[in-house]
Structure 1
Amino acid sequence: MPLGMLPATFSYSQALEAGLSEWHLYRLRDQGLIEPVGRGLYRRHDAEMADIDLIEVAHRAPPATLCLTTALARHDLTDEIPSRIDVALPRGRHRPTTSALVAWHLFDPATFEIGRTELPLDPDTSIGLYSPERSIIDAVRLRHREGPELAYAALRRWLRRRDASPSKLLTMARRFPKAERPLREALEILL
């Protein structure tokens, strides 16, 4: 059966390329061997547990990167439970439609990769995740939209960590002119 040759999450066209007919694909779905993740996207039933919403986002927009409240929550820098998934894309990229509740944020392509790491979701899929420092910088520079409490509470929490390096944070903040001055002032108050 060609189902075993497919990755844990696959698209309709990948299934057809692997030799599954449309009829066979729907039969596998009806038998519970695969489940729909989103329009034209499926996941094998035998795949390990994963966050289906993040899997869908990663497949629909490969450069997608978790940012702002979502990234701060992943780094345990906020107690807020995001009501939506905050995802950054380089400005000029298409924002795909997803079944997951996503807030798309368009960031400057020149700074998009700064502080970006990969978060593995399953053996075949990963999604971008901004580092704690980059997440704090973004919260500071977008505090007019996200609220200043989010940024400064995350900064206070980050400073309590053993691996917190204010100099590293300020070095990265120099690449973001709207964030450097308020971040420097906040650090002067908190340190």
Structure 2
Amino acid sequence: MSKSEVALRKLNRPLRVSEANRLGIPPAALYALEAQGKVERLERGVFVATDLHPLKHPDLAVAALRAPQAVVCLESALFFHDMTTHIPSSVSVAVQRGDHRPRGTSPPVKAYSFSSRSYASGIETHILDGVCVKIYSREKTLADCFKFRNRIGMDIVLEALHDYCSGPRRVDELLRQARACRMEQVMRPYLEAVL
């Protein structure tokens, strides 16, 4: 077993080529391990050891590695928080207006531009498959869904609202996030109907 293989197994998570290089694993060694079937390429520049346990959230982990400043939002955050039955076809991420928008095909990424105030509000950090992933809170996700209701569909928004109301809820925080997204007046009639 080579030093590169040992280092990858100790790391026990997906990693970028640049990160592997900093850890003393040259790109040529990664490509050689890929040819031997000992590592798998998840996406351009992102590798994982093949003998690791299956990843639970590979799309979110790869998206976070590709764009560490991006925050998982909308349908992807709903799916992560179990607030929808809809399976997203791409990873939805929020970026601050003016920042680099991540691109890629595996997994496909849909980037949304948020204002500074809206972007910074409600961010939670989760460790998924060994990768630090930023995801919006349940309340922030719901407020964002109302904001982008014409893009994602009102049926998904209403399902998420009913799911939110049937579980643990923090109405004060939800209203605070609605104000941050400038959606309080839009959301209030729906909240009064279900709460």
Q: Output the TM-score relative to the length of structure 1.
A: 0.87
Q: Alpha carbons of 1:101 and 1:168: their partners in 2 closer, same or farther (altered >3 Å)?
A: same
Q: Whose helix fraction is larger, Structure 1's or Structure 2's?
A: 2
**What is residue 48 of structure 1 aligned with on the other side?**
53
The answer to whether the aligner puts 1:87 opposite 2:93 as a matched pair is yes
Give the AA of the match of 2:193. I
| Aligned-partner SS, 2:120 | coil
Deviation (angstroms), 1:61: 0.3
Q: Which moved more, 1:104-113 or 1:131-140?
A: 104-113
**What is residue 166 of structure 1 aligned with on the other side?**
171
| Aligned-partner SS, 1:136 | helix
Give the AA of the match of 1:67. C
Deviation (angstroms), 1:35: 1.3
* C-alpha distance in structure 1 between counterparts of 2:161 and 2:87, whole Å: 17
**What is residue 103 of structure 1 aligned with on the other side?**
110
The answer to whether the aligner puts 1:189 opposite 2:163 as a matched pair is no
Give the AA of the match of 1:4. V
Q: Output the TM-score relative to the length of structure 2.
A: 0.85
The answer to whether the aligner puts 1:150 opposite 2:152 as a matched pair is no
The answer to whether the aligner puts 1:133 opposite 2:135 as a matched pair is no
* C-alpha distance in structure 2 between counterparts of 1:60 and 1:52, whole Å: 12
**What is residue 184 of structure 2 aligned with on the other side?**
180
Q: State the identity as a percent.
A: 32
The answer to whether the aligner puts 1:2 opposite 2:4 as a matched pair is yes
* C-alpha distance in structure 1 between counterparts of 2:120 and 2:97, whole Å: 12
Instruction: Encode CA deviations 1:163-190: one digit per residue, 9 max, x unaligned.
Output: 213232112212222x110111111222
Deviation (angstroms), 1:21: 4.5
Give the AA of the match of 2:161. L
| Aligned-partner SS, 1:82 | coil
**What is residue 17 of structure 2 aligned with on the other side?**
12
